[in-house]
Amino acid sequence: MKPALTLYLAAPRGFCAGVDRAIKIVEMALSKWGAPVYVRHEIVHNKFVVDSLRAKGAVFVEELSDCPDDRPVIFSAHGVPKSVPAEASRRNMIWVDATCPLVSKVHIEAERHFEDGLQMVMIGHAGHPEVLGTMGQLPAGEVLLVETVADVAHLSPRDPERLAFITQTTLSVDDTAGVVAALKARFPAITGPAKEDICYATTNRQAAVKAIAPKIDALLVIGAPNSSNSRRLVEVGSAAGCAVSHLVGRASEIDWAALGEARAVGVTAGASAPEVLVDEVIAAFRDRYEVTVELVETAREDIEFKVPRILREPV
């Protein structure tokens, strides 16, 4: 007789509109131009997605210099520094930008502040491709990076009266509010977006985790270790009181011993994790427990982003 266990399934979870679009862009590029199509960086942060596109003929590279001139190249959903498409154009390459429109929106915001003569503070994680892409929209020194409230004290802007802030799209809503408050306290003249630049998908997935947290003993977030929004979901789970809040790439990574006597487990998935991995996790629980699944839906999403025109035109 298997023990009873309730799985609380967070909704929304998994793929967002930006990830959906980026995957569609690679698939459409493969059917338009044939294989191989080059992709600079992981198109989205998920090994399962990357492996399945690789099997269809996508070649993932780190730098544009790793691509031949005569094959199309796609830039990932996280965005790229301006120098990258400029170099692709200089080499007369066919290139398609899969940058999520919500990341492009932050790029435009940054450009606007720059044109207004403001230096920027970006709240984000050092080394994340989105941060490199956004900072790379402007000349070096125009965007200063902070990760935490403590970093704010060490900022030395050119002119404290001429500052704006922007944020990475996949941060913790609560932590970012703290950093924004610290920036406003130290630089009262700082301007920024009405809220922050955290995207709807990140916000909704975090809200869903907060809603299931009081019902569960443990939380599993399906996502990749380099996926910022997935890691934030783990942190949100811990902050909301889940003693066990783990990131798992797929079912085989579940630490069953750590779940112990847990009989109410929350499951969610980061914005780059496909639903098939959620199904796999549920099946793994069914192998060990008598499972009841309860959906906890805190929002509905119907956002869709168009693919770039070049893919909608005939060859």
Q: Name the one residue in this structure whose structure tokens are 């630490």.
A: 255
The upper half-sphere exposure of residue 230, i.e. CA atoms within 13 Å in the direction of its Cβ, equals 26
Instruction: Please say whether the dihedral angle defined by the alpha carbons of residues 93, 67, 125 and 86, taken in this order, is positive or negative.
Output: negative
Token pair for residue 74?
């796609």
Closer CB to ligand SF4, residue 119 or residue 170?
A: 170
C-beta closer to ligand SF4: residue 201 or 216: 201
Q: How many binding residues for ligand SF4 (CB under 6 A)?
A: 15
Task: Respond yes or no: is residue 290 known to be catalytic.
Answer: no
Is residue 271 a contact residue for ligand SF4 (CB under 6 A)?
yes
Question: Using CA atoms, how far apart are residues 267 and 285, in angstroms rounded to an integer?
Answer: 11
Q: Is 49 in the site for ligand SF4 (CB under 6 A)?
A: no
Residue with tokens 């443990």: 218
In the set 27, 42, 109, 130, the catalytic residue is 130
- CB-based contact 271:16 (threshold 8 Å): yes
Q: Scan residues 229-268 and list those touching ligand SF4 (CB under 6 A).
A: 229
**Nearest distance in Å: CB 76, ligand SF4:** 10
Q: Which of 107, 77, 79 is nearest to 15 (CA)?
A: 77
- Out of 7, 11, 19, 28, name the contact with ligand SF4 by CB under 6 A: 19
Give me the least distance between CB of 15 and ligand SF4, in Å please: 8
Decide: is 74 part of the binding site for ligand SF4 (CB under 6 A): no
In the region spanning residues 94 to 113, those forming contacts with ligand SF4, defined by CB under 6 A, are: 100, 102-103
Q: Is 201 in the site for ligand SF4 (CB under 6 A)?
A: yes
Contact present, 265 and 7 (Cβ < 8 Å): yes
Shortest reach from residue 206's CB to ligand SF4, in Å: 11
For ligand SF4, the closer CB: 18 or 237: 18
Do the bridges between strand 218-222 and strand 163-167 make them parallel or antiparallel, or are there none, so unpaired? unpaired
Beta strand ranges found along the chain (DSSP E): 4-11, 37-40, 58-61, 73-75, 95-97, 119-123, 143-146, 163-167, 218-222, 244-248, 264-269, 290-297
Q: Which residues contact 30 (CB under 8 A, 6 or more apart)?
A: 37, 56, 57, 58
Stretch that binds ligand SF4, among 14-22, 90-98, 230-238, 258-266 (CB under 6 A): 14-22
Q: Closest CB to ligand SF4 among 16 and 218?
A: 16
State the nearest-atom distance from the C-beta of 97 to ligand SF4, in Å. Answer: 13
* Interface with ligand SF4 in residues 163-182 (CB under 6 A): 169-170
Instruction: Round to whole Å and give the CA distance between 175 and 180.
Output: 9
Is residue 74 within 8 Å of 44, Cβ to Cβ?
Answer: no
Stretches 3-11, 198-206, 213-221, 292-300: which one binds ligand SF4 (CB under 6 A)?
Answer: 198-206
CB of 313 to ligand SF4, least distance (A): 24
CA atoms of 202 and 274, how far apart (whole Å):
15
Cβ-proximal residue to ligand SF4, closest one = 18
Residue 129 or residue 192: which is nearer to ligand SF4 going by CB?
129
For ligand SF4, which is the closer residue by CB, 32 or 105?
A: 105
Tokens representing residue 262 in the block: 């847990």
Catalytic residue numbers?
130
Binding residues (CB under 6 A) for ligand SF4: these are: 16-19, 77, 100, 102-103, 169-170, 199, 201-202, 229, 271
